[in-house]
Structure 1
């Protein structure tokens, strides 16, 4: 008999056996790829909202990333026209709402989202549609997850990073000055629609951000995909939409398959392979007060961890060089002076990211490293001296490039 089975008798000598609750919950959501999602002749959005065939008119609120509203000034009118043409099946509960594209906006923004939902009386079978980059998808998703203990969320990612990674998974989050994604929940969306036409107006930084996430999954899971990215680096940097959409699709498929097959979709364990390169990336973002974007930070984090893997004999020098050159060819930097910043005690500031990473995961520190290209290994200790070497190595690459 285990300690948990031992019974403490009540004063009347009765004992009550513990009940061990156990049940499974199945999650299912489609991820679609399209063009012109709000075009009058595109039936996809309506069919996705009605995919459960509930024989009802679906009430929706649309939240739009302010960056998207600025670069696509016609979007509100197009959304309203789309819904008006299908008023028997889908209904806007209010005019689309513009959202600041900043996960640091905090609880005030969450409260504003919740207030809009409350004022328009959405119920658990209504829909919230989030249109934007990862920051807006995350904060709207978080708000949805706490209203009525979860509303139906339809994500429409509009950046390369969101379409390839942040917008297709099961998490949401809100950043703080202390830690990235310190606040958040696991809440799978009702559906995801990736509209590639939104990519044409992205800044260069936002265009390349998703490439970093593609390298992340390719290096640890798919050698052929890694070859594709390296071979097409110039095309990706030069904004070849055909090459980019292929990269987004392949990255998304790898990401989704990992969630489906890992056996730990909600990350109860300590290992997070899809966070390869992220312990440093998250710290880089917070040190820079989020002036360095997530994709660029991930590229640097990948370079740091790949150097570490080389020093541990997990990859060779030629493979490390392919990784760093591939990232650079795609338009991503592998060094920023912020990673050389030090604490008052003289330690690299980014090393604080290891402790925060362990705290965020829970349990034992577990860092994913590449083992050759297309495979991975988890390690539980990181030698700070090798991180020092990595920073110096990457700084050297930066200096060579500027000469």
Structure 2
């Protein structure tokens, strides 16, 4: 399918972070864009404000007349859409051209210089940082991001050159549609075992992704990953590119960069935590491969404000601090909580966590319990099911029962909000990838008046 031939686009699952980026991309290209999602959110509201039509009812009656002509129509769907969806089956049975989001990204990236960032965690921040550096320094790029950039307040950026930055999603092996010029692999931890089955299959999929580099392409991967070739990076040990002299000054992280014949001193890192410095090392190395001057990179990093729901300060006052983060894997939780405790070692930390997926909760309960045990006070919400049906015996309690020490409890969202309104903790962290973000507004109000 040629991009220039597409005149109308329908997205099934348009409210997803990746799908909404494609909606904005095709709308910018002048296509008529519509879509369906089951839930109205702030993201779908913003798309509607941009004159993109969205239905929240899985009904085909409106499609029969508006989408009867199959010419120059592209239908994009996400694997998270149930197979029995009426709208999905209307287009399937009608002989329309249907593509997964990942396939469309593969089509867009053809002929472009592509920087793809993959990893079970770290990819959103790293890809957003790469895109930010390219924009800030004037190098420019088009970018499809897995989160809302705080600098640009969007998840898709439009450039005037032939360079594309894309977050390469491992779910459903989606990233295997990409053939990058520069590939970054941040992590290869076991995840999505409902799709892959085993940790070995996860790692094999990442190896296949790395092998799809274009001829002469550059691979950048975290030291210690089961990948061969390429350049290694780290923030905790010496690698081919690495951070050192990491320190906290007046509540902000600083570090020095060395690698591949380059050295940059006194880099101010707005995002806290060793894991974010590690993400920065990878982004810096990618920018250096593009021959962007070191001082320009340093200035761009200092101006990076991160990604919404990635260590996002909601309240930052003398008496109370509230941080929200998307972490939903044990390693992400460990990194996030460690960063909070490093910045605020003398404050009592209250963590509210919503597990995401029954299968992930079952597979990683001990890891979740170990990471969450770092909190002084833990509140566990019910599991957010996303695309899954309940699994017998799998609830948030299987995590709670393994957490050692500290004050810990199970709560509904309503009970949690009531508890926080009375408790008013001095340091609050909400974490999870489900609908826990709907609590941010009420919690912000409570914490602002603590």
Larger Rg computed on CA atoms: 1
What TM-score, normalized by structure 1, do the two folds share? 0.29
**TM-score of the aligned structures, taking structure 2 as reference length:** 0.27
As a proportion of its length, which structure holds more strand?
Answer: 2
Greater percentage in helix:
1
Question: Which has the bigger relative contact order, CA under 8 A and spacing at least 6?
Answer: 1
